[in-house]
Structure 1
Amino acid sequence: MEKRVLKTLEFDKVRELVLTYCTSSAGRSHMEKLVPVSEYTEVVKLLEETDEGLAILRVRGNVPMGGISDVRPHAKRAQIGGMLSAYELMEIANTIRASRILRQFIETVDEDEDISIPHFLAKKEQLPILTGLEHEINHAIDDNGYVIDSASNVLRSIRQSLRIQEGRVREKLEGYTRGRNAAKMLSDSIVTIRNDRYVIPVKAEYRSHFGGVVHDMSSSGQTLFIEPDAVVQANNEIRNLKMKEQEEIEKILLELSVKVQEVAHDLFVLVDILSEIDVILAKAKFGTANKCSKPEVNNTGYIRLVKARHPLIPIEEAVANTIEFGQDITTIVITGPNTGGKTVTLKTVGLCTLMAQAGLPIPALDGSEIAVFDSVYADIGDEQSIEQSLSTFSSHMVNIVDILKKFDSRSLIIFDELGSGTDPQEGAALAISILDEVHGTGARVMATTHYPELKAYGYNRPGVANASVEFDIDTLSPTYRLLIGVPGRSNAFEISKRLGLHGHIIDRAKKFTGSDRGEVDSMIASLESSRVQSEKDAEQTHAILLETEELKRELEAKLSEFDEMKEKLIEKAKEKAKKIVEEARTESEAVISELRAMRLNAGAQVKEHELIEARKRLEGASPAEDKKKIKAKAAPRPLQVGDEVKVLAYGQKGTLIEKVADKEWIVQIGILKMKLDESGLEYSKPEKTKDPVVSATVKGRDSYVKLELDLRGERYENALLRTEKYLDDALLSNYHQVSIIHGKGTGALRQGVQNYLKNHPRVKSYRYGEAGEGGHGVTVVELK
């Protein structure tokens, strides 16, 4: 990009703004060289880097960049054999330390935050690791650039001797200040230093009393700073030690400078990468402070700026415009009066393009898109003085001729007041010819003009659109809103009328403009009226859309609330059911325990009425169901004495003994006789033949108990519950041996069943089934 174009479109001013966000001198130096690039992949990379910087600042707030100095001059001097100062070495150590902290920070962000930062990770990997040099410098030099005693054993010894010697000298001199005649002979009772030697302030008239060397005197001449003879030799020793100290310090600095020389190239790379990161973060901070966004980029010449602002105009003052062209429309011609904002619009498009191609976020909303151009050209001038018309026209033409020599189809060209500064008819003709030239090659063009002849330009040529900047007749001021598709008009007659010009003068002027001009103005007025109506319709539609979205949100909230309440009710019902089942199981276990005790106490048999009573308790322990009363099935004939019936209330079978009333019967249930209503009795067909012993046994139990229990397919907990109940039923049935089928599978169910059998008090032994009994898929249990 040409420097003149960067200055014309004010890119240099934007760059100065971004530079203020840099934290290091190296970053500022790098930022001063920032220019747009024209390689598409490079632009994409630059914008992605800035977007990563924005993401890091968003989640972390800041990035540790303190302590970075531009140490490249230091490294270069060490490279050619120069000795670096302690302060320069300290800056090198601090810069290495800053790079180490930054590397750790980037690693932490990559591990902890849900953001992708591949470009920062790549730069982190490129940072040379110079921790060894950092430690060596820190071992010898402190944060103030002072060579510390631990730098070498020799330096430590010299400084210890120096401190001892200085203590002796001060002690001797303080003896003078505490003497009997101190107040009389000394101007002040202090020990001070002149020419790096310890002295005392002596009144001039007592000079001979102390002897020694005079190193200085006061401005009045009344006080002499004397080094007494008694401390001359000691001061000489101090001077000698200081010279040795300086020699040792230079030796240490020279050794460290050699170590810097060995890694000078790495220091160059280190500073370059740190300055690049500083620039990226400066771009991101600028974007955050100015409400900018990362645009999408393309290589097809398409530009779409959503609510774009000029970055150098304060946000609260700038008028945002949406500008789109570059596909079907490749040229936009903006017409209308001065001071309407046409030039600002041109600069906004050009500047946003340059900013994006330099990796800067642009002052526009998300969804904006910028094309990457090989070159951007601009001819913008503000000179409008009649006296300078010739020079202005010449200046513009020189610039335009240069543009016409260089541009191609991958160029963005901006013309401000094309053809101005000369005869209107000739200027309009030139403007049309120049626009034809650049438009015909496929370049993207934006131009402004005063000439009414160009208002028809967009209607006569494909790919060209007219535009104007809106003007408010009521306030006699521009609104700075860009209207694409509507050519501008001067509004001179309307403005003059509102300012008080007589109507007959305006009417006469309109006759001079010609019918064509009036028709064009009428067309423009009609277009503006249609636009205003369209905007009103759009606002109403938007309001309805917002209301609909609000209703949708409310319905979604109600539905979510309903689902949540439904889930809570289901959970509550489950908890209640679980509690009822637990209570029923507890009662059942109590009944079974009582049955076992009854069996043990009764010897070998439980009486029938005790079993019936236990069953009634078990039924009472079951969860209550809200259902209709169970009715008996209709008998094939009226019930008769001797019929077998099922007593529905108890689930037992009995025999009808006697009918005591119209609907009441005496029923024999085992050894019990009970008076029951006919509605609770169900006719049961008599069995053909039954063994008397087996029949008695069946009547003594509430149901037939099989000799085997099949647990295959059961859940672990249910299987153990079924095993427990089955063993109780088997014991009540006087079984001595039963089989439990659990299958082979993973072995978990088999292990659980056998662990339960191991601890059961009524299990005598158990074993796996034989080959004909099911093998390891069956456990045969012997009961006591």
Structure 2
Amino acid sequence: MEEALALLEWPRLLEHLAHFAGTAAGRDRCLHLQLPGSLEASQARLSETRELLALDGLLEGGLSFDGVVTLTPLLDHCEKEGTAQGEDLLALAGTLGAGRRLRRQILDPELRPVCSALVEPVASLPELEQRLRFCLEEGGRLADRASPDLAAVRLQLEASREQRRQRLQEVMRRHASILQDTVISERRGRPVLAVKAGAQSQLAGLVHDSSASGQTVFIEPQALVPLGNRIRDLESREREEEQKLLRQLSGLVATHVPALRRLQDVLEQLDAGTARACYSQWIGGVPPVLESDPQAPFQLRGLRHPLLLWQQRRQGGAPVVPVDLQVSAAIRVVAITGPNTGGKTVTLKSVGLVALMARAGLFLPCHGTASLPWCAQVLADIGDEQSLQQNLSTFSGHIRRISRILAALAASTAPALVLLDEVGAGTDPSEGAALATALLRHLAGAARLTIATTHFGELKALKYNDERFENASVAFDDDTLSPTYHLQWGIPGRSNALAIAARLGLDSAVVDAAGELLAPAAVGEVNAVIAGLEDQRQRQQEAAEEAAALLMRAELLHEELMEGWRRQQHRTAEQQQEGRRQLEDSIRSGQKEVRRIIRRLREGTPDGEQARQAGQRLKRLQQQHRPHPERRDHSGWRPVPGERVRVLSLGKAAEVLELVEGGRQLVVRCGVMRMTVELSAIEALDGRRPAPPDPPAAAVQVRHRLPATGAGPQVRTAANTIDVRGLRVHEAEAMVEEQLRHARGPLWVIHGIGTGRLKRGLRSWLDTVPYVERVSDAEPGDGGTGCSVIWPR
């Protein structure tokens, strides 16, 4: 496996991946990325990559690892009871703060279950961070507030230094004439004055140094020596206090080493996961589907070599030509043939790298949906294994590597991907072809998939004798005599050695002679057949592209038709809603007009002319608000007591109790409600509308209730009780007004309690009715606040 990783240039891909890490520890983890040992671990790592990619896109500036440092050396030192430096401890505090920030950003079990499960048990140790930040200042210097003793020593030290500075200034003023300059120098931590060599006896003190010319002597004045000794003592005490505090902080860190190591590991894992996500996005990768069934097919469309992509985008290389790899579950061996420099080896390495990338939790540089079985082993024999030191020829080197591949397959039953470049090459062609044929047949039963490149014609024919084999070839442009790097499936390829030799300038006579030598072996005929198959495949490809274009146009047309249908449905719904709104407005206006006519008649003494005008107005309103008849045949149907009908205003079914007003009105019961409705306001459950009753012989008359001469019943009965629960306010008003026309005493109206909207609407309307004397709540036994009693004048 290690040899295969080196042959496929997997370490080089990991170097590219490490460029996207945010910390040194994350880069190191990327460079030494471990391949998961199970399908479940690979799927979890893919989920982690997917979640971090989504989160990185949501956060402004992406997921940041600023402040995170490698803690391993510090933790090792503290664990051994060593004293850490202030800078390292301050860096630890920054890492703790960054870890807590990242934990807060990531933790969301519903959106990011895998990453949340990773960071949730990690302790961010806020108390330790607070302690470190309290004791340490910028640069790792211990703050005065860290210890009262340290603060006191530093205060004394500052005062002593200021006193020494003042005395130095005073000495310099008194002995200015003997000084070479006014700059205060320092020797061995002591302040000294530059005194002329001939005048050193005029200044008592300790000589610490002299100039190279001997003209200047550096003297510490004797008056400052005791003060300097005191400062030295205070500085020593300050260092002792600082070391004492650093030992305490280091010991505090040592008590949390296990939690800090766990935090360090999680941060490195998150950094590597973010690097995988950013690298996957940079190459335009798609998340692969890792199948648990080892016999699952390989579906890789538009596959591009990831290292060539890096070369194209970072180094200005040539565009990468994508290839399609679609291997069914029944295929075990794919033989890729075609000319040299046609891209066969690149295809081998591309397949091997994407198998490793999917296992490592990386997205694949493909198009659409990429799926493949999880491969526990990726084994390869690519390149020249010739070694002069080991006395190995090219053929011997290949055989030794293939022997190790077979041994690895025999030692494990896990699904494996085997990649062989120029299998059987390096020896006699006939023997090499026979050996390659036997090897591929053996691998067909030992590995999940073997992909081999070859120039042997015998391997091209294996497909026609064994259904486990498939042919593929790299395309070659006969016009330009150059490969196109496209991979063709189902047909073998031609080596085109003579055409390439001619293009490279080989003498035409030699090329022609080689062509004549091919004819007796019938190789020319085989190449002609292959060329015919390639032409046929090209025509089929063009036909398939035309069919795909037609299908795309049909889909676009279908989408246009569906969009038109949806717009029409939307317009129809809007028209229906507008019609309902207009109908409701018309009903409300009609009801208002009827109430105005009734109010006008009741306010004065009506005469015949007023009654006639009112009757004509009511007829016009009836014509205006009469519903349009449907086209169904409803002749003959009339509701009868006991039959169930649908009340149009409520949209609910009700039972007919009795017919009144000559069949023009019905008393119905809908649930607990008992109401009187017009015949036109109901329909049969099957949609039939009722036939109107026979017209009365008399002309339309308008009833006018004269003032009552006698009092009606003062107790609640079924005749003076009306139930308006479930109705709208305007519907309840119409029903109450109709009952008030015939009332000869108080009227009980059951409206319920609910939100109180119906009760408030009725009470507001009744306040405007002139023939209502008063309205009050019913007695508790008659409904209480859920029932109103209307007393007419």
TM-score range, shorter chain: 0.7 to 0.9
Give the residue type in structure 2 aligned to 1:737.
Answer: G
2:31 matched to which residue of 1?
32
> Which residue does 2:396 correspond to in 1?
394
User: Residue 366 of structure 1: SS of its match in structure 2?
Assistant: strand
Q: CA contact under 8 A between 1:294 and 1:366: conserved in structure 2?
A: no
Map of 1:41 onto structure 2: 40
- Aligned mate of 1:363, from 347, 365, 378: 365
> Following TM superposition, by how much is the alpha carbon of 1:138 offset from its aligned partner in structure 2, in angstroms?
0.8
Match of 2:153 in 1: 158
Deviations 1:712-755 (A, max 9, x none): 4551413542266347x53xx6x541434537796969955885
Question: What residue number does 2:697 align with?
Answer: 685
Change (3 A) 1:275 1:218: farther
CA shift in 2, pair 1:507/1:171, >3 Å = same
In 2: Cα distance, 1:74 partner to 1:685 partner: 111
- Report 1:532-551 matches (<5 A): 532-551=538-557
What does 1:286-301 correspond to in 2, within 5 Å?
A: 286-299=279-292, 300-301=294-295
Q: Distance in 2 between matches of 1:381 and 1:722?
A: 96
Distance 1:13 1:683 in 2: 99
Query: Which residue of structure 2 lines up, in the alignment, with residue 644 of structure 1?
Result: none
Structure 2 match to 1:96: 96
Say if 1:590 and 1:479 are closer, same or farther in 2 by CA, change over 3 A. Answer: same
Counterpart among 139, 164, 175 of residue 169 in structure 1: 164
How far does residue 162 in structure 1 lie from its aligned partner after superposition? 1.4
- Residues 157-185 of structure 1, C-alpha deviation per residue, up to 9 Å, x if partnerless? 111111112122222223455x3874x65
Equivalence for 1:725: 737
Matches within 5 A, 1:671-710: 685=697, 708=720, 710=722
What per-residue deviation string (whole Å, max 9, x for no partner) do you get for residues 361-418 of structure 1? 22222311122223221111147999x9962111111111222222146322111111
> How big is the shift at 1:613?
4.7
Contact 2:332 2:444 survives alignment (8 Å): yes
The 5-angstrom pairing of residues 183-332 of structure 1 reads 185-204=178-197, 206-216=199-209, 224-299=217-292, 300-301=294-295, 302-314=297-309, 317-325=319-327, 327-332=329-334
Matched residue of 1:470: which SS? strand
Alignment counterpart, residue 516 of structure 1, candidates 507, 519, 522? 522
Bigger drift between 115-124 and 246-255 goes to 115-124
CA change 1:318–1:222 in 2 (3 A) is farther
Looking at structure 2, the residues matched to 141 and 503 of structure 1 have their Cα atoms a distance apart, in angstroms, of 86
Report the CA distance shift for 1:757/1:117 in structure 2 as closer, same or farther (over 3 A). Answer: closer
Alignment partner of 1:527 out of 527, 533, 536 = 533
Farther-moved stretch of structure 1 (422-431 vs 253-262): 422-431
Q: Residue 80 of structure 1 corresponds to which residue in structure 2? A: 80
SS in 1 for 2:483: strand
Question: How far, CA to CA, are the matches of 1:776 and 1:136 in structure 2?
Answer: 67
Question: Which deviates more, 303-312 or 488-497?
Answer: 488-497
Other structure's SS at 1:360 match: coil
Deviation at 1:558, TM superposition (A): 3.3
Deviation at 1:354, TM superposition (A): 1.4
Distance 1:65 1:55 in 2: 17
Aligned residue in 2 for 1:739: 747
Confirm whether residue 139 of structure 1 aligns to residue 134 of structure 2: yes
Aligned residue runs from structure 1 range 625-664, under 5 A: none
1:425 aligns with 2:420: no
CA RMSD, 1 decimal: 3.9
Which stretch shows the higher mean deviation, 431-440 or 287-296?
431-440
Taking a change above 3 Å as real, the CA distance of residues 550 and 175 of structure 1, as seen in their structure-2 partners, is farther
Cα distance change on mapping 1:233 and 1:470 into 2, 3 Å: same
Consecutive unaligned residues of structure 2, counting only runs of 5 or more, are 313-317, 629-693, 707-711, 713-717
Contact 1:739 1:778 in 2 (8 A): no
Write the letter of the residue equivalent to 2:169: E
Matched-pair contact (CA < 8 Å) for 1:293–1:366: yes
Q: Look up the match of 2:15.
A: 16
For these two proteins, the number of residue pairs brought into alignment is 702
Percent pairwise identity = 31
Q: Which residue of 2 aligns with 1:640?
A: none
Q: Identify the residue that residue 68 of structure 2 maps to in structure 1.
A: 68
Alpha carbons 2:518, 2:524 under 8 Å: kept: no
CA shift, 1:260, in A, is: 1.0
1:361-760 equivalences under 5 Å are: 361-382=363-384, 391-408=393-410, 410-495=415-500, 506=512, 509-514=515-520, 516-570=522-576, 594-595=600-601, 598-599=603-604, 605-613=605-613, 685=697, 708=720, 710-712=722-724, 714-722=726-734, 725-726=737-738, 730=741, 735-740=743-748, 742=750, 755=763
Residues 591 and 199 of structure 1: CA distance in aligned 2, closer, same or farther (over 3 Å): farther
Contact 1:336 1:490 in 2 (8 A): yes
TM-score, normalised to structure 1's length? 0.80
Asked if the contact 1:204–1:221 (Cα under 8 Å) also holds between the matched residues in 2, the reply is yes
Higher-Rg member (1/2): 1
Shift of 1:14: 0.8
For 1:59, the equivalent position in structure 2 comes to: 58
What amino acid does structure 2 have at the position aligned with 1:528?
A: E
For residues 449 and 29 of structure 2, what CA distance do their matches in structure 1 show?
Answer: 31
C-alpha deviation, 1:619, in angstroms: 7.2
| Alpha-carbon distance change, 500 to 185 in structure 1, aligned in 2, over 3 angstroms | same
Cα offsets for 1:60-106 (capped at 9, x unmatched): 36113221112122122212211111112112211111111111111
Alignment of 1:149 with 2:144, yes or no, is yes
What is residue 692 of structure 1 aligned with on the other side?
A: none
- How far the C-alpha of 1:268 sits from its partner, in A, is 1.1
Mapped partners of 1:627, 1:430: distance in 2 = 92
CA distance in 1, matches of 2:569, 2:696: 50
Secondary structure of the structure 2 residue equivalent to 1:334: strand
Contact 2:357 2:364 survives alignment (8 Å): yes
CA distance in 2, matches of 1:569, 1:219: 107
Q: Cα 1:150–1:778, aligned 2, differ >3 Å: closer, same or farther? A: closer
Q: C-alpha offsets along residues 38-58 of structure 1, whole Å, 9 cap, x if unaligned?
A: 422222222221121222223
From the superposition, tell whether residues 104 and 192 of structure 1 become closer, same or farther in structure 2 (CA, over 3 Å).
farther
| Structure 1 residues without counterparts, runs of 5 or longer | 600-604, 629-681, 688-694
Q: Which amino acid aligns with 2:87?
A: Y
Distance 1:781 1:298, change over 3 A: closer
Structure 1 counterpart of 2:545, one-letter code? E
The TM-score with structure 2 as length reference comes to 0.79
Q: 1:362 to 1:743 in 2, by over 3 A?
A: closer
Residue 300 of structure 2 contacts residue 366 of structure 2 at CA under 8 Å; is this kept in 1?
yes
